[in-house]
Amino acid sequence: MNNSSENIYQLDGRVPVLKALPFGLQHVLAMFVANITPIMILAGVVSLDKELTAALVQNCMIIAGIGTLVQLFPIWKIGSRLPIVMGISFTFLSVAITIGTTQGMGTLMGAVIVGGIVEGLLGLCAKYWLKLIPHIVAATVVTAIGFSLLPIGANSFAGGLGSADFGATHNWIVGSVTLLTCLLTQVFAKGFLRSLSVLVGLVVGYILALCMGMVDFSGLSNCSIVALPKILPFIPEFHIGPILSVVAIFLVSATETVGDSSALVNGALKRQIHKSEMGGAISCDGFVSTISGIFGCTPITSFSQNVGLASLSGVVNRFTIATGAIVMLLGGIFPPIGTLLTTIPQAVLGGCTIMMFGSILFAGFGMMAKSGFSQRNMVIVSLSLSVGLGFTQAAGMFKEFPQIFQTIFAENCVAVVFLLAVILNLVLPKEKE
C-alpha cells in the first residue's frame, strides 16, 4: 500500500507514523476535555470516591478509543468507515444524574447496557425509522438538552453541589477566570487554537487553582503506573422505567450522530452520505455504548468538534485518525493520567462547561431556524418545551401516578420533550405548514 504524507487528505492510504501522529493528537486534544467531563460531573454529583472516579476516567478514555476505531474500521455492519471520533456524550448527563442519584449507578448502567443494544439494532435498520425524527423534532430535543444542562454547569462553577465550599469566593474567581479565558480564546484566537478554547481555559483555570491551593494530589500517592481497566465497577440492575428513559435519549443521540455524520461527509469528503454509512455510525454508537455501560461509563456519541476539525483541516485519513484513538487507549491503561485529571477542581470544569452547554442550546436554536418557523413547527416546539421543561419543575404534580410514570415524566425533561415532539409531529396535519 502506498505510504505517503499526501494520503492524510484521502480517506484511505497509509501515512508515515511520525507524520500521522501529530494530526491524531490534534483530535485527542480537541475532544479529551469533553470526553472526561460528563463522567467527572456525574461522579461528583453521586459522590463517588476519587479512586473509583479515576478508574471511570481511565475507562472512558478506553471506550472513546474503542468507539473511534470501530467507526474507522467497521466490524460487519457496525461502524461507518468514516473519520468519526467518538467520546462520552453530554446528551445523557441529565438523565444519568437523575437515575444515578435516585436509583443508583447499577440501575443507570443496566439502562445504558439495554439502551445501547436497542440503538445498535435500530442502527442496522435505520432507514425504516429515521423518518419518525425529522429535523424539527431533533432541534426541539437538542434545545431541551441545552436547557437541562445549564444548572449542572452553574453548580460546578460554584464548586460542586453539596460541597462544603459551594459558592465560596475562590470558586467564583477560578470559575470566572476559566470562563473568561475560554471566551477570549474563542473570540480572538485563530485557526486550530480557536477549536481548543475549552482546553486553553481549563489549563489556565487549573494553573490558577493550583496557585490558590485548590488542587489535591493525594490520590497520586497510591496510584500504580499501569493497570487494566475496571470492568463492571457497578453491578447492573434492570428496571423498566430508567431503561425507557435512557432508550428515549438514545434515539436523540442517534439523531445527533446522523447530523454529525452527514456534516462530516458533506464538509470534509464533499459528497452525500450513504445509507450504509449512516446505519453503521448509529449501530456503532449503540453497541459500543453497551460496552461503555459494562465499563461503568455513560453512552458515547460522535463528537461535533472533531467533525469541525476534519472539515477545517481537510485531514480525513482513517489511519491518521486511528493514531489518536490508539493514544486514547494507551492513556486509559496508565492510571496516573486518569488520577491527574480527577484533580481538576469543579469550579474549573464549571467555567469550561458553561460555555459548552450554552453552545448546545445555541445549536438547538440554529436547527430550529433551519427547520423554519411555520405554524406547525411553532406548535411542536412551544408545546413540547413548555410541558417538558415546565412540568418537570413541578414534579410533585405526578405524585398520584405510578412510579414508572414518575421516573419517565417527572424526573427527565428531555425524555418528555422528545416523546411529546414525536407524537405532535405524527398527529399534526402537514397542511398547516
Express each pLDDT in 265-291 by its tens digit: 877 787 877 888 989 999 999 999 999
Q: Rounded distance, CA 98 to CA 244, Å?
A: 13
Collapsing DSSP states into helix, strand and coil, what is residue 188? helix
- The distance of Cα 44 from the centroid of its chain, to the nearest Å, equals 17
pLDDT in tens, 148-178: 888 888 888 998 877 888 999 999 999 999 9
Collapsing DSSP states into helix, strand and coil, what is residue 133? coil
pTM: 0.74
* Whole-number Cα distances in Å, 279 to 67, 128, 204, 358: 15, 10, 40, 29
- The distance of Cα 423 from the centroid of its chain, to the nearest Å, equals 26
Give residues with Cβ within 8 angstroms of 254, minimum separation 6.
119, 122, 123, 126, 130, 133, 282, 285, 286
Q: Rounded distance, CA 20 to CA 207, Å?
A: 30
How many helices (H) and strands (E) the chain has is answered by 17, 2
Q: Rounded distance, CA 180 to CA 185, Å?
A: 9
Question: What is the C-alpha R_g of the chain?
Answer: 21
Residue spans of the chain under pLDDT 50: 432-433
* Whole-number Cα distances in Å, 134 to 123, 130, 138: 16, 7, 7
Which one, of 350, 410, 299, 418, lies nearest residue 151 by Cα? 350
What is the per-residue burial (b if ≥16 Cβ within 10 Å, else e) of 49-84? eeebbbbbbbbbbbbbbbbbbbbbebeeebbbbbbb
Residues 91/252, Cβ–Cβ less than 8 Å: yes
Q: Which pLDDT does position 433 carry in this prediction?
A: 47
Q: Which pLDDT does position 213 carry in this prediction?
A: 92
Q: Rounded distance, CA 291 to CA 280, Å?
A: 16
Domain boundaries, the chain: 11-361
Q: Rounded distance, CA 298 to CA 242, Å?
A: 13
Q: Which pLDDT does position 304 carry in this prediction?
A: 72
Collapsing DSSP states into helix, strand and coil, what is residue 78? strand
* Whole-number Cα distances in Å, 224 to 50, 51, 211, 329, 334: 14, 11, 26, 17, 8
Q: Which pLDDT does position 353 carry in this prediction?
A: 80
Q: Checking phi first, is residue 258 left (phi over 0); if not, alpha (psi -120 to 50) or beta?
A: alpha
Collapsing DSSP states into helix, strand and coil, what is residue 14? strand
Q: Mind giving me the DSSP string for 274-336?
A: PHHHHHHHHHHHHHHHHHHHHTT---EEE-HHHHHHHHHH----HHHHHHHHHHHHHHHT-HH
Q: Which pLDDT does position 356 carry in this prediction?
A: 74
